[in-house]
Amino acid sequence: MIPRYSRPEMAAIWTDEAKYRRWLDVEIAACEAWAELGQIPREAAEKIRRDAKFDIAKINEYLAITHHDVTAFLRSVADSLGEEGRYVHFGLTSSDVWDTATALQLRDASDILLADIDALLAVLERQARAHRDTLCVGRTHGVHAEPTTFGLKLAVWVDEMRRNRARLVAAREAVAVGAISGTVGTHASVPPKVEELVCAKLGLGIEAASTQVIQRDRHAQFVTTLAIIGASLEKFATEIRALQKTEVREAEEPFDEGQTGSSAMPHKRNPELCERITGLARVLRGYAVTAMENVALWHERDISHSSTERIVFPDATLVLDYMLNLFTGIMDRLRVYPEHMRENLERSYGLVFSQRVLLALIETGLSRQDAYAIVQRNAMRAWNERVPFLDLLLADPDVTSRISEAELRGLFDYGYYLKNIGATFERLGL
């Protein structure tokens, strides 16, 4: 991922230095496991833990010769050791090291993302509570439907992000597994006990059945989970973009003094942060497709997945980390305009009360079809002629013969739509 969309803590997980450090962690843990089983001298394992190191410059030199990064790494480690170096990588395959180390990286990346989600949830919950009763129009198909509250919109987002958090916890568990199973996963060259000890030392679960590589359905679950979270952020950002339209202007993302919206039009306050989130969500969905393509490998293994994962794992975690933090900042400083919400609510001439009138007429004994026709007739006229819906109903004998003026006026009460909002907030603990 380019520096523009990379935050330091997440980026640090994916440096070459960090990768090789995790490889070395796996190799050291394996040596200690062998020593515990009495297969190599304990003193050798202790010396390996104390002295083993790598040199990235030397790795790159060896890589130019071997064209194999694990063997290049092992040569560099061997340079730092004496005779005991022969025990490093004993019985292991490159996949044992690579996949188990990657599990450590993905676990650590997950922990950052979970913290990001927690930070976003705190802001969303605060804003939802603050706007629980902030009246606005609900729209279906982009058209005025019935009144809702801005807080209820945000409560829906809270609930969705809580589900996303649960998804990520499950995905973290799925990828936080190691495999030290040797060639084609038979444990012929490295017994299951070594695998158990290594994974315990590293704080990982165990791939119960391996084909030399950890099965890529786990990684597909992880990356698709990130893509789902990105899709949620895109959904939220798209709503803000729609609410920021000039003719709507019910809410807008922060815009700082001196900030440029358009290089040509100084008046512009473009929702470019939310648009950025929309674009990056598309990138994540592309990575999800790649991760699913990686599930099917030839027989026990191939390396068609390897080239893609060198891009997908770092970039997917980096981009979601960036998106979550960006959207948290947007929501923390979101500009909300309740007065514009009220103005927009009233722009459809009271038509948002049509269902209340419909139900009231049905309650007088009219069939639903007849009641619907009466209400729709007046509603279409209100819209086409731009006159108050209530005035037309008060002048329609088909309505006034069944509903009194006082009752009709009582139906046009915004408070009616707030009466059960609290129940949703109670369900969510808000």
> In one letter, which amino acid is 35?
A
Question: Measured between alpha carbons, how far is 54 from 64 in angstroms, rounded to an integer?
Answer: 16
Name the 3-class secondary structure at 335: strand
Angle at 25 between CA 49 and CA 203, to 5 degrees: 115
Question: Measured between alpha carbons, how far is 342 from 57 in angstroms, rounded to an integer?
Answer: 64
HSE toward the beta carbon, residue 87, CA cutoff 13 A: 25
List active site positions.
141, 262
Q: Are 390 and 360 in contact (CB under 8 A)?
A: no
Tokens encoding 406:
């006082």
For 347, which DSSP code? G
Question: Measured between alpha carbons, how far is 408 from 309 in angstroms, rounded to an integer?
Answer: 64
Tokens encoding 150:
């801005």
Q: Are 222 and 62 in contact (CB under 8 A)?
A: no
Tokens encoding 172:
């973290």
Question: Measured between alpha carbons, how far is 228 from 180 in angstroms, rounded to an integer?
Answer: 31
Q: How far apart are the first and last CA of the chain?
A: 37
